[in-house]
């Protein structure tokens, strides 16, 4: 599983498709306010684009994209973005995760909620992407050991 796939056509197809899937994943996260989508779906798409290269190209090619040790910090960053949003709102005088109290000057309360939802969607997307890639990497490791 860690070696490159034998057929060059599979590798070429994976390399062709992967960037478009990644762009579409970011589109689904950012455009989640206006169309079906959001952090979970976009994060799953981002993980799909990374896992496609991992399955087709082997671990040597995958290290150029995102390295194995980098997935755990990315997951932590995703969770911390979500938690820090709630904590900042609480420190500024509101309740936990009450986006009305976010300290951004000159924005109406309803548009503050809009911004808060956007921030936590990005956090969810990062965490879901990193965790799905992390599960795959650890499974490959465990299988190699046997």
Partner 1 sequence: MLDFFFGHYAYWFVIILLCIGAYGILFKKNLIKKTIGLAILQISVVLYFVSIASKWDATVTVMDPDIPLDQVANYLNPLPHTLMLTAIVVGVATLGVAFTLLIAIYNRYETLDEEELIDKIQ
Partner 2 sequence: MKALKILILVLFAGILIYASSDLPFRGDPDNLMHAEESITGTTVKGNYFIQNAYRDTRTPNMVTVVLGDYRSIDTFGEQVVIYTAGLITLLVLRRSRRRGK
Q: Which spans of this chain sit near partner 2 (rule: CB under 8 A)?
A: 32-38, 72, 75-76, 78-79, 82-83, 86, 96-97, 99, 110-111, 113-114, 116-117, 120-121, 123-124, 127-128, 130-131, 134-135, 138-139, 141-142, 145
> Rule CB under 8 A: is residue 53 a binding residue for partner 1?
no
Q: Which of 35, 64, 106, 108 binds partner 1 (CB under 8 A)?
A: 35
- Dihedral angle of Cα 118, 123, 124, 129, to the nearest 10 degrees: 130
What is the rounded CA–CA span in Å between residue 92 and residue 135? Answer: 37
What count of other Cβ atoms lies within 10 Å of the Cβ of residue 79? Answer: 15
> Rule CB under 8 A: is residue 131 a binding residue for partner 1?
yes
User: Could you give the C-alpha distances from 129 to 80, 126, 135, in angstroms and in order?
Assistant: 15, 5, 10
What count of other Cβ atoms lies within 10 Å of the Cβ of residue 101? Answer: 17
> Rule CB under 8 A: is residue 110 a binding residue for partner 1?
no
Choose the one of partner 1, partner 2, none that binds residue 82, judging by a C-beta under 5 to 8 angstroms depending on kind. Answer: partner 2
């Amino acid at each position: 599983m860690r070696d490159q796939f034998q057929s060059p056509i599979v590798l070429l197809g994976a390399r062709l498709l992967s960037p478009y899937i990644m762009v579409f994943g970011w589109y689904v996260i950012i455009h989640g306010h206006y169309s079906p989508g959001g952090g979970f779906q976009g994060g799953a798409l981002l993980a799909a684009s990374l896992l496609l290269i991992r399955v087709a190209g082997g671990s040597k090619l995958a290290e150029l994209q995102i390295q194995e040790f980098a997935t755990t910090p990315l997951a932590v960053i995703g969770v911390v973005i979500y938690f820090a949003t709630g904590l900042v709102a609480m420190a500024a005088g509101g309740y936990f995760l009450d986006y009305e109290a976010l300290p951004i000057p000159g924005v109406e309360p309803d548009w503050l909620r809009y911004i808060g939802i956007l921030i936590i969607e990005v956090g969810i997307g990062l965490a879901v992407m990193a965790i799905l890639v992390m599960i795959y990497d650890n499974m490959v490791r465990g299988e190699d050991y046997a």
